[in-house]
Structure 1
């Protein structure tokens, strides 16, 4: 089968990027030809990519950039449409070679230009390779491209919904509604990564005056060959160090971090505002330049390591974890937190940690207010207000200053999947304290596959992960209050972390083995590709999703 996957972004770094990479690889391993349309700048880094093509200026001709041999039968060909300098995104992000702007902030003209150029590229390739089916990623733009292909050539198309386009774009602007409905209207099937995301999508459709639609739940997979129970910490860290030493590009320097801490400690608002609002001068998608020294300074056998991995954004609850850390470290001084990820607003979270480290209460409040501006649920504000009402805010600040967060809460920058798996394997606990609707939370499953317990918010799509863990290995998990996004979120998070760190059962090899088994049995890419192929076979004609009209 010849399958066009219309994605538009990269093959690493975010959940949907990693999803596309693994799905394409898995489909090719089953003997299919996969045509991925994206903007990956370094396709040669991905062993499953057999060919890469670029286009001429009008996307009506394409030419090969590189080619490699692959397994018999299947093949992944990557195509990079010429879209100009602007790359529309759902969340503001940094992409090498492009200017980015969120869809809900773009004019209809700019969006149409992006869709038209991508559609031209896809149709150009189809005219040569004759696709059997198309799979559009995301709710916005790619489905419109797939519908164009379907209407002109009769190619059936399916859609994979990821949470970011729905929550950060479609819900933010009614001007995007016609584009959303246009893409959904003729889709053969709609795939979601969780029951929760399916309900979210239908709630959105009802809110904009349309009927509910049928969705198909296909849980994402985990890379079993990478995320596995680790060996000796010294060996795993040596492998991590070797990977970092081989990188050609590194990110934020120790000097930059120290400069921000100095600015915070002097409470110079003007300099701090400039630091927080200026574009970073370092490579955001590369690990920090001092990370090797950081990992060398951790005693992986005696210290307890709590790991966060995800975008440095408020929706992921990173600020809640920073605020929870002092209470954890106060009661368990040998704990270190590692925050793995990237974003354009990284410095806000580092400044929050620095303000806590320096005991600067007013600055802590200002940074939390800035981070949570516009949020319906402000867990940081609720936490601080509660401390103030109890008269314990100053005591909390003293505890925070004693926690030495500059050494105990470490921002690392992003890691690739190989590196991330090594960190998970030597960590004691993983935390995903999201406060904004998550479609699923695949990184928590990846942590589970390495044998460590993932603390997740028991809401949104993550509730389905929590239920699977509870149903299968609940006896190993210490009693705890349910972690849900409410005014008690941060105190509950602190207590939950401490209970897990104190639990001998979560260190037991029986738990680790069972955890890995859950991850690889319920969430594997071979199963994901099979489920998609069933849909492709079942729905072989262009469809019409009932109740949708423009």
Structure 2
């Protein structure tokens, strides 16, 4: 089966990025042929990507930029539309090589130009007659340019991710109309949880037609990555292996900053992790994006109370995002007993 996966961003870091990467890998394992449209610039990091192609500035012609043998019966071709350096997002972050604006700050002309760049890319490569299924992500704008492309009459399943609704569509009547355009074209609207489904339906006034074609498909767990360890010796072996991989030169790239890539590893990460007693300490781990909506600040604020009751407790925060500086300032203020920096 030939499947087109439409994702306007990358394959690392955020929940929707990881969702798309893992879904494409599983589709390839099942023997499907996948055409993946996204902005991922490092295809060599993904074992399921057979070839990667870049578009010219008009999104009419493509040039192969990467090729490798893959271990799966199905093959994935990655196509990177040329956005002419402009990337609209739901939550602001710095992405090197792009002028980044949140959708709420974009002009209608900028939004239409972005949609048109991606529509041209789709129409230049895909064959609706051979496409059995289109999988789009978020409620704007990926399913919008699917609807406007030659794929508009293909079977279309749209997966909703929370950041799009809560940071963009909820705050703009224009973006809500784009979402309605996308929803009208999708045959099914998929949610990762029942909570997100009900939240989305409520925002669209519990529209009966939307209710009828919405369903929940949990993201699941990759049991090859998330496994139970038998005893402290197995745990220590895993930790030692992790530290060895992190110490490898390609991964240590300095402290992240606004001017550098988002997924660089902190240069002192091995030293920090080496101080942790994973056998005897009680670990609370946060893994995700650094956003206030995730509640990280609540965990930090509660840390002194928890540490008073359990001196062997350690809280580990792993992630990236624009709120990192704020969270580090909050930690420093609590540690020094001086809340003045938080007032600025």
**Partners in 2 of 1:76 and 1:352 — Cα distance?**
44
1:344 aligns with 2:322: yes
Could you say which residue in structure 1 is the equivalent of 2:262? 284
Could you say which residue in structure 1 is the equivalent of 2:90? 90
Could you say which residue in structure 1 is the equivalent of 2:81? 81
Could you say which residue in structure 1 is the equivalent of 2:119? 119
**Partners in 2 of 1:282 and 1:73 — Cα distance?**
37
Q: CA deviation at 1:308?
A: 0.7
Q: CA deviation at 1:221?
A: 2.0
**1:200-219 pair list within 5 angstroms:** 200-206=199-205, 212-214=210-212, 215-219=214-218
SS at match of 1:310: strand
SS at match of 2:289: coil
Q: Is residue 286–residue 317 contact of structure 2 (8 Å, CA) maintained in 1?
A: yes
Q: CA deviation at 1:78?
A: 0.6
Q: Is residue 43–residue 66 contact of structure 2 (8 Å, CA) maintained in 1?
A: no
Could you say which residue in structure 2 is the equivalent of 1:57? 57
SS at match of 1:203: helix
Q: Is residue 292–residue 323 contact of structure 2 (8 Å, CA) maintained in 1?
A: no
Q: CA deviation at 1:331?
A: 1.4
**Partners in 2 of 1:291 and 1:97 — Cα distance?**
26
- Give the number of aligned pairs: 340
Higher strand share: 2
Could you say which residue in structure 1 is the equivalent of 2:47? 47
Could you say which residue in structure 2 is the equivalent of 1:250? 252
Q: CA deviation at 1:179?
A: 1.1
Q: Which has the higher contact order (CA 8 A, sep 6+)?
A: 1
Q: Is residue 96–residue 260 contact of structure 2 (8 Å, CA) maintained in 1?
A: no
Q: CA deviation at 1:130?
A: 3.5
**Partners in 2 of 1:285 and 1:35 — Cα distance?**
25
Could you say which residue in structure 2 is the equivalent of 1:240? 242
**1:9-20 pair list within 5 angstroms:** 9-20=9-20
SS at match of 1:134: strand
Q: CA deviation at 1:213?
A: 3.0
**Partners in 2 of 1:112 and 1:31 — Cα distance?**
36
SS at match of 1:301: coil
TM-score between both structures, scaled by the size of structure 1: 0.59
SS at match of 2:205: helix
Q: Is residue 150–residue 156 contact of structure 1 (8 Å, CA) maintained in 2?
A: no
Could you say which residue in structure 1 is the equivalent of 2:187? 188
Higher helix share: 1
With over 3 angstroms needed to count, the CA separation of the structure-2 counterparts of 1:33 and 1:302, relative to structure 1, is: same
Q: Is residue 2–residue 130 contact of structure 2 (8 Å, CA) maintained in 1?
A: yes
**Partners in 1 of 2:172 and 2:79 — Cα distance?**
30
Q: CA deviation at 1:151?
A: 6.4
Could you say which residue in structure 1 is the equivalent of 2:166? 167
Runs (5+) with no aligned partner, structure 1: 257-278, 368-550
Could you say which residue in structure 2 is the equivalent of 1:406? none
**Partners in 2 of 1:245 and 1:361 — Cα distance?**
36
Q: CA deviation at 1:73?
A: 3.8
Higher Cα Rg, which structure: 1
With over 3 angstroms needed to count, the CA separation of the structure-2 counterparts of 1:284 and 1:67, relative to structure 1, is: closer
Q: Is residue 95–residue 261 contact of structure 2 (8 Å, CA) maintained in 1?
A: no
**Partners in 2 of 1:204 and 1:70 — Cα distance?**
42
**Partners in 2 of 1:23 and 1:320 — Cα distance?**
32
Q: Is residue 47–residue 71 contact of structure 2 (8 Å, CA) maintained in 1?
A: no
Q: Is residue 81–residue 118 contact of structure 2 (8 Å, CA) maintained in 1?
A: yes
Q: Is residue 52–residue 78 contact of structure 2 (8 Å, CA) maintained in 1?
A: yes
Q: Is residue 96–residue 261 contact of structure 2 (8 Å, CA) maintained in 1?
A: no
Runs (5+) with no aligned partner, structure 2: none
Deviations 1:370-415 (A, max 9, x none): xxxxxxxxxxxxxxxxxxxxxxxxxxxxxxxxxxxxxxxxxxxxxx
Could you say which residue in structure 1 is the equivalent of 2:197? 198
Q: CA deviation at 1:251?
A: 5.3
**1:20-31 pair list within 5 angstroms:** 20-31=20-31
Q: CA deviation at 1:224?
A: 1.2
With over 3 angstroms needed to count, the CA separation of the structure-2 counterparts of 1:328 and 1:28, relative to structure 1, is: same
Q: CA deviation at 1:281?
A: 4.7
Q: CA deviation at 1:129?
A: 8.5
Q: Is residue 90–residue 167 contact of structure 2 (8 Å, CA) maintained in 1?
A: yes
Could you say which residue in structure 2 is the equivalent of 1:68? 68
Q: CA deviation at 1:84?
A: 1.2
Q: Is residue 38–residue 78 contact of structure 1 (8 Å, CA) maintained in 2?
A: yes
**Partners in 2 of 1:281 and 1:97 — Cα distance?**
10
Could you say which residue in structure 2 is the equivalent of 1:221? 220
Could you say which residue in structure 2 is the equivalent of 1:309? 287
- Which of 307, 317, 329 is the equivalent residue of 1:329? 307
What value does the CA root-mean-square deviation take over the aligned residues?
A: 2.1
Q: Is residue 157–residue 189 contact of structure 2 (8 Å, CA) maintained in 1?
A: yes
**Partners in 2 of 1:323 and 1:280 — Cα distance?**
25
Q: Is residue 6–residue 134 contact of structure 1 (8 Å, CA) maintained in 2?
A: yes
Deviations 1:165-208 (A, max 9, x none): 1111100111212211111112111111112222111111118x
